[in-house]
Structure 1
Amino acid sequence: MKTKLLLLTILLCSFKISTQEIKMSAQEIAKFKETVESQSKSIKTIKTDFVQIKHMDFLTKDIESSGKLNFKVPNTLSWQYTKPYQYSIIFKNNKVYINDQGKKSTVDAKSKIFEKINKLIVGSVSGNMFDDKEFDISYFKTKQHYIAKLIPKTAAIKKMIKQIDLYFPLKENTVSEVKLIESSGDYTKITFKNKILNAKIDDAVFTN
C-alpha cells in the first residue's frame, strides 16, 4: 500500500513539474517569435478539426462541441460545428455568414471593432498575433508547450476578452490550443487536431 501511494505521489509531482510554467528569457522570446512569424508567412491555408470547451461558472458541466475549421489567406475563415449540433459561421469579404441548422443570415461587418475581432480570430488560428500595439504579451514555456499570453490594450476588445492564451507545441510552430478568457472569468478553450497546412481548399467550403 505504501509503495502504491509513493508511486502515485511521484506521478503527481512529475505531472506538476511538466506543466509548470516558466517565464521565457528575452533570447528565447526573440527566437520563438522569429520562428512562428516565419511559419505564419508560409501559411496559405489551414484545415483542422477542433474541439471547443465552453466553461461558465454557473453551469455544473462544461459545454463541449466539435467540428472542422478551414482558413485561407488573407482572412477567409470557416467554422463548421458538427457536434452536438449543425452550425457554421463564415468570415469573408467583410461579412459574416451564419447557417444555424438551415436558418441562414448575413451580417455586414464593416466596422473597426469587426476588423479587430476578425484579426484576432485569424491570428489565433495562424499564430500571428504578436502585435505589441494591440496587446501586452508575456511568454512562458512548459515541457510540452510555448505559451503566449495576450492582454488586450484597447477598451473595445477588453469588454469582450480579458486574456488570450495561445499554446504552441515545442516541435511545432503553429497554435494547437487557444483559450479565450472573458472579463467574468468564463472561458472558451479550443483545441486543434489533425491539422494540415497548405492543402487545397475548395471555395465551396466558404459558402453556406
Structure 2
Amino acid sequence: MIFRCLTLCVVLLFCPLLVWAQNETDLLQEIESKARNVSTLDTQFTQIKTMSMFKTSMKSSGRLVFASPDKLRWEYLEPFHAGFVIDGENCHRLGADQSKVSPLQTGCTDPILRALSKRLFAWMQLDMSALKKENTVSVLSSEPLAIVLYPLNSQTSGIASMTMQFTQPDMTVEHIVIHESEGDETRIDFHETTINAPLSKGLF
C-alpha cells in the first residue's frame, strides 16, 4: 500500500513536467513549421542598446528585409545610414545613400562573416536543428509565446542569452532581447511586418 502511494506521488509529481516537455516540443515544432512558410519578410525595427558600463542607451531604427533561403538586408535609417546586404555568397556594405557601395572584406568567405550570416539565417528561418547545435533552446512562456536561447559557448559568441517573443497566430518575431556576456543589452522591436509579399528589385 505504501509502495503504491509513493508510486502515485512520483507520477503526480512528474506528470506536469512530462506534459510541459511535450507542449514545449510541440510549440517549438509549430514555430519552425510557420517559419518554413515564410518566403519573404519586410519589417521596420526599433533598436535600443543599453551599455552597462556607462548606464546609457542608444536608440536607432531601420528596416529588415529577408528572402528565403539566403538573402537578407539589414539597414539602419535613423540616426545614421548604415547596414549590410547578404545575397548568397556575396556580402555588401550599405552606404549613406542606402546603395551597395563595396563588397565587405573577402565577401562571405571570411570565417567571421560566414559565421554571422549562418547565425542570422538560422534565426530568421528559426531552424531549430541548426539553433540547437549552438544553443540550448527552450520555451520561456506560452502566452505570450517566447523562447530563450543560451549559447553553448557564450565566450565565443559574446551572447549570454537571447529571448524571442512571437505574435500569434502567424508566429512572426515581435521582439528580440539580447543579453551580452559583458552585461550590455540590446532590444529590437519589429513592427509593420509584411510576409510573403513581392519585394522591390535591387534590395539585394
Structure-1-length-normalised TM-score: 0.76
Q: State how far apart, in whole Å, the 1-side matches of 2:146 and 2:122 are.
A: 14
Q: Does 1:65 align with 2:60?
A: yes
How far has the Cα of 1:59 moved from its partner? 3.1
How far has the Cα of 1:170 moved from its partner? 4.1
Q: State how far apart, in whole Å, the 1-side matches of 2:24 and 2:186 are.
A: 26
State the partner residue of 1:116.
Answer: 115
Seen in structure 2, the aligned counterparts of structure 1 residues 165 and 200 have a Cα distance that, compared at 3 Å, is same
Identity within the alignment, %: 25
Equivalent residue for 2:35, pick from 34, 40, 45: 40
How far has the Cα of 1:117 moved from its partner? 1.8
Structure number with higher relative contact order (C-alpha < 8 Å, ≥ 6 residues apart): 1
Seen in structure 2, the aligned counterparts of structure 1 residues 125 and 176 have a Cα distance that, compared at 3 Å, is farther
Q: Deviations over 1:104-157 (max 9, x none)?
A: 3322221454333212222333433453222112211164x22211112247x7
Counterpart secondary structure, 1:132:
helix
State the partner residue of 2:9.
Answer: none
State the partner residue of 1:184.
Answer: 182
Q: Deviations over 1:147-185 (max 9, x none)?
A: 211112247x73422222111134331211112221101
- State whether residues 165 and 174 of structure 2, in contact with CA within 8 Å, keep that contact through their aligned partners in structure 1: yes
Seen in structure 2, the aligned counterparts of structure 1 residues 94 and 188 have a Cα distance that, compared at 3 Å, is farther
**1:184 alignment partner AA:** E
Q: State how far apart, in whole Å, the 1-side matches of 2:58 and 2:43 are.
A: 20
State the partner residue of 2:71.
Answer: 76
Counterpart secondary structure, 2:199:
coil
Q: State how far apart, in whole Å, the 1-side matches of 2:117 and 2:165 are.
A: 19
Q: Does 1:54 align with 2:49?
A: yes
Equivalent residue for 1:173, pick from 157, 171, 190: 171
Q: State how far apart, in whole Å, the 1-side matches of 2:157 and 2:134 are.
A: 14
State the partner residue of 1:151.
Answer: 150
Q: State how far apart, in whole Å, the 1-side matches of 2:90 and 2:42 are.
A: 21
Q: State how far apart, in whole Å, the 2-side matches of 1:114 and 1:99 are.
A: 15
**1:69 alignment partner AA:** L
How far has the Cα of 1:53 moved from its partner? 0.9
Seen in structure 2, the aligned counterparts of structure 1 residues 160 and 95 have a Cα distance that, compared at 3 Å, is farther
Larger-Rg structure = 2
Q: State how far apart, in whole Å, the 1-side matches of 2:196 and 2:115 are.
A: 25
Q: State how far apart, in whole Å, the 1-side matches of 2:153 and 2:70 are.
A: 21
- Superposition RMSD in Å: 2.3
Structure 2: gaps spanning 5 or more residues: 1-18
Seen in structure 2, the aligned counterparts of structure 1 residues 59 and 129 have a Cα distance that, compared at 3 Å, is farther
**2:188 alignment partner AA:** I
Q: State how far apart, in whole Å, the 2-side matches of 1:66 and 1:121 are.
A: 18
Q: State how far apart, in whole Å, the 1-side matches of 2:166 and 2:37 are.
A: 17
Structure 1: gaps spanning 5 or more residues: 1-23
State the partner residue of 1:133.
Answer: 133
Equivalent residue for 2:202, pick from 201, 204, 208: 204
